A and B are shown apart, each in its own frame.
Chain A
Amino acid sequence: MNTTDQPIIDVEDLTTAFGEHVVHEHLDLRVMSGEILALVGGSGSGKTTLLRQILGLNSPKSGSVKLWGRPVQSYVGPERLALTRRWGMLFQSGALFTALSVFDNVALPLREVHHLPSDLVRKVVLMRLKWVGLNEQDAQLMPSDLSGGMVKRVALARALSLDPELLFLDEPTAGLDPQRSDEFVELIKALHQQLKFTVIMVTHDLDTIRDLSTRIAVLAEKHVLVEGSIQNVMTFDHPFIKAFFQGKRGERALGNQPLQAEQYGKS
């Protein structure tokens, strides 16, 4: 485990552009071990693109993205393979392999490790599925037979299948009913306590942000506008933050939080 002060993820002066369209400009973001960071921002503010940059799926135009102290692009071959086993990603639309059953989807990362007995793989897969509220009957289904919420849960089970140190969640609770959403938050919290993994999540759900995140980073105007605890972020004067946190939705979710509380750093 990382015990040093070195950040797990270190994004420095990142610029992302697709042709003429600039998504990020001089973006800096640091994520320390054990944090649960919520990335917040309007639609099209480049949250998912930032995740893709960190995962090395896109390459930066300038600046760098470092994971465990090294640029993500520098992990190649066996090192990249080792890296991919240390993280898990929940994609926004699930990204389940449509040709594989639910069971095989969750088992795939475990089987890719090799050397794990199939009996153990089977038990661990069923454990993951049970965690997210699915049973053996569901394990035999194909992704096309699943409802939207179930897809999300299977995708979470797959992201968790290797007990990752770093978990990326793209809109994890979108499409779940409130009860499932709460259960999801509890699940991540409980796993986080034991496994001490680090979470970066993109979400619009204020309940999830309030209950789960230890820190918030707001993405606007192509960079991280403000970061810190929820109280810290809410006092920042910007139209997006006003609209997002202080509207009716904000009152409902965060109503009893004192707005003026000055609390910096991790909460």
Chain B
Amino acid sequence: MQTFKTAFIEEPLISVEQGIAFVRGDWSVRTLSKRGEVKRRLSLLKEVPKATGWNISEMGLLDSLGGQLLWDNWGGQRPKALVATPAQSDLLSKVESGQSIPALSKPLKDKWAWIVRLGQGAQIGLEHAYALAALLGQLVIDLGSFIKSPRYGPWREISAQIFRTGTQALAITALVGFLIGVVLSYLSGQQLASFGAGHLIVKLLGVSVVRELGPILAAILVAGRSGSAITAQIGVMRVTQELDAMAVMGIEPSQRLILPRVIALALTMPLLILWTDAVALLGGMYAAKFDLGIKPVWFISQLPTAIGFTNYMIGILKGLVFGAWIALAACHFGLRIEPNTESLGKGTTASVVTAITGVILIDALFAIMLDQLGF
């Protein structure tokens, strides 16, 4: 008699008696999932001589995981001499019915894969550019039909979007704007004071905030806040087949989803920029009061001449373009989301990154263009 002692269970898991291997104990996922247990049992099974019969009827619990282990050990077939309970026999036939041809073929590694990836990247970039252009074209068409018959336009959706992207963004833009105003005023105030030119703080703050910082700041906040929301919302509509449902009902997503969002953001963005400008200047004004001793009344009285109408209009114009761009990019990525969660995450990230990069790019274009025009 040959026995193989085990550490956990008193009676031997496998013992060979008179040419028959008795298998005992639990052979289920709960016992097999202990560390090293599968390895241990495999080595025990290996020690059983080839030509022995098997008796598993005294086994505790047998499930398909344990069944698979035994099955593999038997070389993918039922041993000729096997004693098993009817239930175990049923389970083994279930295991047998579940066997398939081994080894999933792994794809070969390609030496030139990086060139392929580079090309694919360029292709994807071009596809995005093409799709964005198509979206813009569709938007112009939709805008045309909206202007032609404004009565049937998506007014309710536009107003809801204005509330969500505009009204609800007031607090966060104010907070960030105020803090940036304080920081900017404080830092530049110190430099200006060392030249004895503290009074120029009004001109410096006014122009930089209204023309550059206000629009950029508000746009980045809105891209992160509303752009991601738009992408995620349209993406989930794809996942839950709501876009398909709309298509079946004959509702154009471009008309009902994209147009109102672009219009809403193009309207709210300039207003948000005005708001951010005002709060940032307020912050700058208070910082100047404490830092340089400039009276708020004088600060305000100097503002109109310091900023000028042109800079003011440039800020508003930027807002319009930024808003439309953010909404367009967000919708573009939202529509491209595939019905799985990973794509949703990727799409939202891509949307925000593209929107912000685009905003800065457009801002640079504005700077060059306006410089050439002499403003």
Residues of B within 8 A of A21 (CB): none
- B64 close to A124 (CB less than 8 A): yes
- B98 close to A131 (CB less than 8 A): yes
- B98 close to A128 (CB less than 8 A): yes
Interface residues on A, range: 20 to 34
A68 to chain B, nearest CB (A): 14
1/0 contact string of A68-81 vs chain B (CB within 8 Å): 00000000000000
Candidates A1, A120, A190; contact of B38 at CB < 8 Å: A120
A97 to chain B, nearest CB (A): 8
A195 to B66 CA separation, bound complex (whole angstroms): 12
Q: Which residue of chain B has its CB nearest to the CB of A1?
A: B61
- Kindly state whether residue A162 has any CB partner on chain B within 8 Å: yes
Residues of B within 8 A of A113 (CB): 29, 33
Instruction: Check A136/B101 contact, CB under 8 A, given A114-B33, A115-B38.
Output: yes
Most buried by A among B72, B88, B104: B104
- B98 close to A130 (CB less than 8 A): yes
Residues of B within 8 A of A120 (CB): 38, 65, 68-69, 72
Instruction: Check A135/B100 contact, CB under 8 A, given A115-B38, A127-B68, A163-B63.
Output: yes
- Kindly state whether residue B11 has any CB partner on chain A within 8 Å: no
Instruction: Check A194/B29 contact, CB under 8 A, given A115-B34, A127-B99, A142-B340.
Output: no
- B94 close to A194 (CB less than 8 A): yes
- B38 close to A124 (CB less than 8 A): no
Query: How many residues does chain B have at the interface if contact means C-beta atoms less than 8 Å apart?
Result: 38
Candidates A1, A98, A135; contact of B342 at CB < 8 Å: A98
- A130 close to B100 (CB less than 8 A): yes
Candidates B37, B90, B97, B101; contact of A115 at CB < 8 Å: B37
- B341 close to A98 (CB less than 8 A): yes
- Kindly state whether residue B39 has any CB partner on chain A within 8 Å: yes
A131 to B68 CA separation, bound complex (whole angstroms): 13
Instruction: Check A194/B88 contact, CB under 8 A, given A115-B33, A127-B68.
Output: yes
List 17 A–B pairs whose Cβ atoms lie within 8 Å, in order of A's numbering.
A98-B339, A98-B340, A99-B340, A113-B33, A114-B35, A115-B37, A123-B99, A127-B95, A128-B98, A131-B97, A136-B104, A139-B104, A144-B338, A163-B28, A163-B65, A193-B90, A194-B90
Give B residues with C-beta under 8 Å from A.
28-30, 32-39, 61-65, 68-69, 72, 87-88, 90-91, 94-95, 97-102, 104, 239, 338-342
Give A residues with C-beta under 8 Å from B.
1, 85, 97-99, 113-117, 120, 122-124, 126-128, 130-131, 135-136, 139-140, 142-144, 162-163, 190-191, 193-195
